[in-house]
């Protein structure tokens, strides 16, 4: 009986080695947990993390571009309006200067003294230009002798004036003139009222009469 017992012990498997290799507290389910943990790790994200920032930057650049365009348009409009205002001011100022020159010239033109006829004619020609200057020069010799023979004299006064039209270098002025006239046949002064349309042109730095019409 003793031999049989010893043989049975020799046939039993040795489990001490397995007990030493298995960590304390580890169970058969621990491997499955590790596998599940490995499988649930997030995959690499291919999306660009800078994409939202890039979109915002693009929108910001577009907005700045629109603001710049609006600002440039406002500057252009302001420049045009400023130029138009300046141009209108220049025309208004030129019109007033031409009107004043026309008033002075109308009084020179309608004021003549036969005793100073040459001086009067020189003053008239000095303030004339173009068509009117040519016409007055051609008729001045005949008119001069007529004034001397009749001992004529006149004095003109502009009672009212107005600008009819203005353009660059050219202004049309309407004038109402009272002219006191005497001569050897009619020694008592008489008043002639005239309505004159005078075209003034800016020549050689001065406003001169280019055309004179009785309106």
Q: Read off the pLDDT of residues 87-97 as tens digits, 9 standing for 90 and up.
A: 788 899 999 99
Instruction: Confirm if 185 and 151 have CB atoms less than 8 A apart.
Output: no
Instruction: Confirm if 128 and 108 have CB atoms less than 8 A apart.
Output: no
Q: For residue 194, what are the contacts with CB-CB under 8 A and spacing of at least 6?
A: 110, 176, 177, 179, 214
pLDDT above 50: residue 28: no
pLDDT above 70: residue 211: yes
* pTM over cut 0.85: no
Q: Read off the pLDDT of residues 31-56 as tens digits, 9 standing for 90 and up.
A: 444 444 444 444 444 445 555 557 67
* List of domains in the chain: 83-214 (3.10.450.50)
State how far the Cα of 133 lies from the Cα of 136, in Å rounded to an integer: 5
């Amino acid at each position: 009986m003793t031999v049989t017992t010893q043989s049975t012990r020799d046939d039993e498997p040795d489990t001490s080695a397995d007990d030493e290799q298995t960590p304390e507290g580890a169970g058969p389910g621990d491997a499955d947990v590790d596998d599940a943990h490995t499988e649930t790790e997030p995959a690499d994200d291919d999306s660009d993390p800078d994409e939202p920032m890039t979109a915002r930057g693009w929108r910001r650049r577009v907005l700045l571009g629109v603001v710049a365009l609006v600002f440039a348009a406002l500057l252009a409009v302001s420049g045009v309006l400023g130029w138009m205002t300046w141009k209108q001011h220049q025309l208004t100022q030129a019109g007033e200067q031409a009107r004043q020159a026309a008033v002075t010239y109308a009084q020179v033109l309608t004021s003549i003294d036969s005793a100073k006829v040459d001086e009067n004619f020189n003053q008239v020609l000095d303030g004339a230009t173009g068509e009117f200057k040519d016409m007055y020069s051609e008729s001045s010799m005949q008119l001069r002798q007529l004034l001397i023979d009749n001992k004529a004299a006149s004095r003109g006064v502009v009672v009212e004036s107005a600008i009819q039209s203005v353009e660059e270098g050219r202004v049309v002025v309407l004038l109402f003139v009272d002219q006191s006239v005497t001569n050897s046949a009619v020694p008592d002064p008489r008043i002639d009222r005239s309505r004159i349309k005078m075209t003034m042109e800016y020549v050689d730095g001065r406003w001169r009469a280019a055309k004179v019409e009785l309106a």
